[in-house]
Structure 1
Amino acid sequence: MSIDDAVTAVPVRQRGGGGPAPSVAAAWTDYLAAARQLDGVRRGAATAAAAQSHAVETARTELTGVRARLASQHARLRDLGVPAISLVPTPPEVTEAARSMGGGPAAVLTGLRAAQGWVAGADAALAARGPRRPAGWPPRLRNLLVYGPLALVVPVVQLLVFLAAGPGPASVAALLVGLPMPAVAFAAGWVGVGRLFPPGADGRWDRTPRLGLLTCLVPAVVTAAGLMLALLTG
């Protein structure tokens, strides 16, 4: 039974018995007033708790998005030559940010939405600088610039030797020498990625080893199979 039902039902039962005494009626009125106030407080607290929970979930979602965009911008700014120390907030900035977040989830959500606006502005400013250099490309694409040319050196040399000498001892020697070269090309590419490109945000290089192995192995296998077929049929 709700508070409003109690307000209606109890006085009716009391009137059936001849009516309550004035002191009882006054006490009942005070009780109802207190019960109504308590019910209002309870409903308000439930509403506030639901709103706070929604704000927390929204803040978590937006925080994930802001972090991802900041990580991308951090890598690009480092690629453009910005010192790492300039990309770290100073202690006064951290203190001011913590103070502004003291208002609870709603304040945090407001701060995150402001950060989204700043991130969008930074993206626009970076986009105005034109395309990124290879160091800022995705790891797979930029690493192909290293593994690819190394993987083609030996097959091209083998083909040139075969075209110049034709089927014979020189072509067989070139074929045999080229068999271990994919491993050499991969090792050279592994070192080259670390020398040519900066590490990621975690301080490690993403050398994409599987992509490197395939890039170095496929041209060698195709060339070796073609030369072998030409030698056998020649």
Structure 2
Amino acid sequence: MSIDDAVTVAPVRQRPAGEPAPSVAAAWTDYLAAARQLDGVRRGAATAAAAQSRAVEAARAELTGVRARLAPQQARLRELGVPAISLAPTPPELTEAARAMVGGPAAVLAGLRRAQSWAEGADAALAARGAPRPAAWPPRWRNLLVYGPLALVVPVVQLVLFLTAGAGPVSVVALLVGLPMPAVAFAAGRVGVSRLFPPGPDGRWDHTPRLGLLTCLVPAVVVAAGIMLALLAG
């Protein structure tokens, strides 16, 4: 036997027609794994962005509510004699608050909710002091405490003089003197409102001028008309 006949050649495996080369199959597997990982990262980023957006909107709504609650509290505390400097945060407090807000919208929202709970506690503490003073009443009602007595002074005096002196010169003089008195009472009422009650959050007084004019004018007109009719009838 020749040397050529003694050499044994190992058989070669033939790949099917549609089967990719081993290097191509490995690359395809790596590509699918990377695509799945990228899709997971994308979905996670979208979820985190949506959660952050919701946290921002919730923080804005919470901030509006806290501001709306703190404004009347500040005015009430000023009425109770608390100095304005005590109602403003100190630099260390501002620094601590800024440090707490570094965590992003979620941390801001948590801080605002804590502030809301503190404000609710402050409301409860203020309510425990009893019924609010007239300075805390709505402007119409508290201003009526000033305009009302001033509007009744002159008509009551006129009525007393008429009942005691009768339809005589004294009543006529009192009637004539009392004609400009509603304007005087209204002007005095505006000054009294500015002196007795604190300004609003915008720094201005609400004098309720229409209410003041009606309050000062109606009693004077009614009493003057009644006295005049009595004089004409007499």
Normalised by the length of structure 1, the TM-score is 0.84
Structure 1 range deviating more: 183-192 or 31-40: 31-40
Deviates more, 1:137-146 or 1:98-107: 137-146
Q: Give me the whole-angstrom Cα distance separating, in 2, the residues matched to 1:43 and 1:225.
A: 82
SS at match of 2:82: coil
Which has the larger displacement, 170-179 or 37-46? 170-179
Q: Which residue of 2 aligns with 1:93?
A: 93
Structure 2 Cα separation of the partners of residues 48 and 227 of structure 1:
80
Shift of 1:189: 0.8
Matches of residues 1-234 of structure 1 in structure 2 within 5 Å? 18-234=18-234
Q: Tell me the distance in 2 between the aligned counterparts of 1:108 and 1:220.
A: 59
1:61 positional shift = 1.6
CA 1:44/1:79 → structure 2, altered by over 3 Å: closer, same or farther?
A: same
Q: Which has the larger share of helix? A: 1
Q: Residue deviations 1:48-70, cap 9 Å, x none?
A: 22222221222122212211221
Unaligned runs of 5+ in 1: 1-16
* Letter aligned with residue 188 of structure 1: A
Partner of 2:8: none
Letter in 1 for 2:103: G
Unaligned 5+ runs, structure 2: 1-16
Deviating more after overlay: 178-187 vs 199-208: 199-208
1:225–1:39 Cα change, 3 Å: farther
> Is the Cα–Cα contact under 8 Å of residues 55 and 105 in structure 1 kept in the other structure?
yes
Cα distance between partner residues in 2 of 1:113 and 1:206 = 33
**Separation in 1 of the partners of 2:64 and 2:57?**
11
User: Whole-Å Cα distance in 1 between the matches of residues 99 and 233 of structure 2?
Assistant: 80
| Contact 1:135 1:142 (8 Å CA) reproduced | yes
The whole-number CA distance in structure 2 between the counterparts of 1:208 and 1:42 is: 60
The residue type paired with residue 223 of structure 1 is V
Give the letter aligned to residue 153 of structure 2.
Answer: V
1:122 alignment partner AA = A
Task: Report how far residue 205 of structure 1 moved.
Answer: 2.2
Distance 1:38 1:172, change over 3 A: farther
Tell whether the 8 Å contact from 1:79 to 1:133 is kept in structure 2 after alignment: no
Between Structure 1 and Structure 2, whose CA radius of gyration is higher?
2
Q: After the TM superposition, which of the residue ranges 129-138 and 49-58 deviates more from structure 2? A: 129-138
How far the C-alpha of 1:168 sits from its partner, in A, is 4.0
Distance 1:233 1:115 in 2: 70
Shift in alpha-carbon separation, 1:189–1:28, aligned structure 2, 3 A: same
Alpha-carbon deviation of 1:71? 1.5
Return 164-173 or 186-195, whichever deviates more. 164-173
RMSD between aligned residues: 2.0
State the 1:150 CA deviation. 0.7
Taking the aligned partners of 2:202 and 2:97, their CA distance within structure 1 comes to: 24
1:46 partner letter: A
State the percentage of identical aligned residues.
Answer: 84
